[in-house]
Structure 1
Amino acid sequence: MHILLVGAGLSGAVIARKLAEAGHRATVIDGRDHIAGNCHTERDPETGVMVHRYGPHIFHTDDEEVWDYVQGFMRFMPYKNRVKTTSQGAVYSLPVNLHTINQFYGRTMRPDEARAFIEEQADTSIEEPQTFEEQALRFVGPDLYEAFFKGYTEKQWGCSPTELPASILKRLPLRFNYDDNYFSHRFQGMPEHGYTEMVSRILDHPGIEVHLQTWFDPAAAGEYDHVFYSGALDGYFGYALGRLGYRTLDFKRFTYDGDYQGCAVMNYGDRQVPYTRITEHKHFSPWETHEKSTCYEEYSRACTPEDEPFYPIRLVDEKALLADYIARAEETEGVTFVGRLGTYRYLDMDRTIREALDTVAAYLSDTAQGRAPRAFYQPPMG
């Protein structure tokens, strides 16, 4: 069969590779001038630093099959994401851990003492938190919430934490030890030569053609036996029902002679600082040496039709609109919607790859058994 993959990010590349290995012909198109989607990496021409053009991407997973899969295309170097935050004139470690708590309160508490202390700060009258703010107050109490979460969240999402669901904060750990590794997954690292080179190797198969700066026309879907679409779900239908909401990011680049901040990621929790964080990209490749540094200030704002969508908002209005688009997609034959944009969900890289592997396996099984391919192999409302 001749199958079209719309989008040359992780979803499109992994699915295309599996299809080609199964003997099918895969054509991959992407409207951008590069592959690898939002995890695209490139060398800064001024400093030589490997930069993550759309913000930092750290690979972390407990899925051993996915870990083995990516390492089949490139060696992953050891990397631990140790995030710092500047708040109220001091620098602390994130996620909130025993060092953060002791430093913030000027104490020397042991783990059991800190646990009891934080429970005293927490608002125990909130039995079932519904909003981000309620979750934070129940989670760490008002002091740590104000210092580390409130201002940052207002800047990141452009609204009050009282309007956001509690589930956003539930993903963040609270530790009563001195572990400052942001992630707790078994496998963590960075591809030695960047994500774009890794994706290039995934796409390097005689059964795969790649065409960049090529936009998809839904009217051309009938020219292929099937389409895997990783673009925006609402975009496939010409935004006929309205636009799904996203946040986007603006990046202000600057260089520095030497080491600017001593870490890869420095958050800024104070509301009056306009950017959410500064990333210093040479620290994402600690096995390399660079005299100069490339840094980016990150600014979050509402996504317009001209912007690159980053974070799906998925509040009440967006979920209602999403349900309408899902219904329309399920009535559309010959296309499967995949990935972050195609299913309107925030996905880490490992989950993106896992879903791509599972999707193409199920698709190949369906077609082998004479069953019609599904619009979604991963439930968008999940």
Structure 2
Amino acid sequence: MVGAGFSGAVLGRELANAGHRVTVIDTRNHVAGNCHTERDPDTGVMVHVYGPHIFHTDDTAVWEYVQGFGAFEPYRNRVKATARGQVFSLPINLHTINQFYGKTMNPEEARAFIEAQADTSITNPQTFEEQALRFVGPDLYETFFKGYTQKQWGCSPTELPASILKRLPVRFNYDDNYFKHVHQGMPRDGYTTLVERMLDHPAIELRLNTEFTPELGAGYDHVFWSGPLDGYFGYRLGRLGYRTLDFERVIGDGDLQGCAVMNYGDADVAYTRTTEHKHFSPWEEHEASVLYRESARACTPDDIPYYPIRLVEEKALLGEYVSLAESTQGVTFVGRLGTYRYLDMDVTIREALDTAEAFKTALAAGERPAVFARPPLG
């Protein structure tokens, strides 16, 4: 298993349970990948080192699976947004609409009002901007989405596909829970402890601070690769595009912003959001606090990749790497980096569980295991 994040940990555990001997390696000095959590040395707050991760899913089997490795506490992600000198509630809901327009509309009045703001001439939105204008009209788009999106993706919303905005709901009630999934929570002891427990099996050997080499891989029956797809091939066709994140740390006493996540929609604010991590563990008490200002930029070879860009140029290169991968023996590409897709944690775990089952089935039938857990271009 190349990578000790959720993909490698779940696959490793499932195959170890099935009687295989498994080695999990990672170049970092910790497990859990970008979900890694640790105690801040100055405040004692449980910090999400690579940015916050909230577990949310409608997949009851996955929810029950992760709880087998540690207790989860209830958590609701209630995001705020600072824009045009005010603080609003996200996702856009009835309170946001009434506050923004200085009205007291009920749900049906607000629905009709927003539809009147929308550009109904756009019948088949192709870009992020067209989708937003058709969805909420120019005022809400420019306040909450345009500047934030430019900072997050480093390009105009006219260059991004409409599908990105389909993840962002508008509600005509006062529900400010960012996610709508039936199961939502946080691991009480942090994600790293959760993954450590997944890897705690006599048939699993964990090697941190370890680089993968072809020579290392040759010593095993099969390799599961959750690193960058292009990285497996030494970037021989070029590098796939990613966005990365920079974090500016601020510590202080008490409560620094009053919520876990504050988005900044104005384009002239350099960062996209601030996250105060004590609020991700509301069952704990801390006198001090730690906050991070988060900024996105283009990923360089020395950076940690976060979000696959997947625009036209990247998809063309991805197609070439997929063809190369499909001609390769003895490896299965999994996870966010291995399949060059944006994946939430629950989907990552579901795909790892399904991949383990498919691998066992293929071995039993004497067939070649699948190269991809899920086709990147599917």
**TM-score scaled to structure 2, two decimals?**
1.00
Residue in structure 1 matching 2:177, options 178, 181, 185: 181
Unaligned stretches of 5+ residues in structure 2:
none
**Unpaired runs of 5+ in structure 1?**
none
Displacement of 1:377 in angstroms is: 2.6
Q: Secondary structure at the match of 2:149?
A: helix
- Describe the SS at the equivalent of 2:116: helix
Q: Secondary structure at the match of 1:107?
A: coil
Aligned length: 378
Matches within 5 A, 1:2-81: 5-81=1-77
- Report the residue type matching 1:215 in the other structure: E
Aligned counterpart in structure 1 of residue 121 of structure 2, from 120, 125, 131: 125
Task: Name the residue aligned to 2:230.
Answer: 234
**Contact 1:39 1:195 survives alignment (8 Å):** yes
Task: Report the AA paired with residue 334 of structure 2.
Answer: V
The corresponding residue for 1:165 is: 161
Q: How far apart are residue 318 of structure 1 and its match?
A: 0.4
Q: Could you say what secondary structure the match of 2:114 adopts?
A: helix
Aligned equivalent of 1:364, options 350, 356, 360: 360
- CA distance in 1: counterparts of 2:155 and 2:214, whole angstroms: 35
- Superimposed CA distance per residue, residues 160-202 of structure 1 (whole angstroms, 9 cap, x where no aligned partner): 0000000000111110000000000000000000000000000
TM-score, with length taken from structure 1? 0.98
After superposition, the CA RMSD in angstroms is 0.5
1:210 equivalenced with 2:206 (yes/no): yes
Alignment partner, residue 381 of structure 1:
377
Q: Which amino acid aligns with 1:373?
A: P
Deviation, structure 1 residue 246: 0.1
Q: Is the 8 A contact 1:30 1:214 kept in 2?
A: yes
Q: Which amino acid aligns with 1:275?
A: Y
Q: How far apart are 1:379 and its partner, in Å?
A: 1.3
**Contact 2:8/2:24 (<8 A) preserved:** yes
Q: Indicate if the aligned counterparts of 2:37 and 2:49 stay in contact, CA closer than 8 A.
A: yes
Q: Distance in 2 between matches of 1:266 and 1:220?
A: 44
Q: Does 1:106 align with 2:102?
A: yes
Equivalent position of 2:78 in the other structure: 82
Q: Which residue of 2 aligns with 1:297?
A: 293
Q: Classify the secondary structure of the residue corresponding to 1:51.
A: strand
* Alignment equivalent of 1:141, drawn from 132, 137, 150: 137
Q: For 1:331, which of 318, 327, 330 is the aligned residue?
A: 327
The percentage of aligned residue pairs carrying the same residue is: 74
Q: 2: CA distance between counterparts of 1:372 and 1:64?
A: 30
Aligned counterparts of 1:297 and 1:265: Cα–Cα separation in 2: 10
Aligned-residue offset at 1:218: 2.5
> Which residue number corresponds to residue 255 of structure 2?
259
User: Which amino acid in the other structure matches residue 137 of structure 1?
Assistant: L
Query: 1:219 Cα shift?
Result: 3.7
Letter in 1 for 2:16: A
1:247 corresponds to which residue?
Answer: 243
| Contact 2:79/2:91 (8 A) holds in 1 | yes
Amino acid at match of 2:360: L
Cα distance per residue 1:126-146 (max 9 Å; x no partner): 000000000000000000001
Partner of 1:199: 195
Aligned residue type for 1:128: N
CA deviation profile, 1:279-328 (whole Å, cap 9, x unmatched): 00000000000000011000100000000000000000000100100000
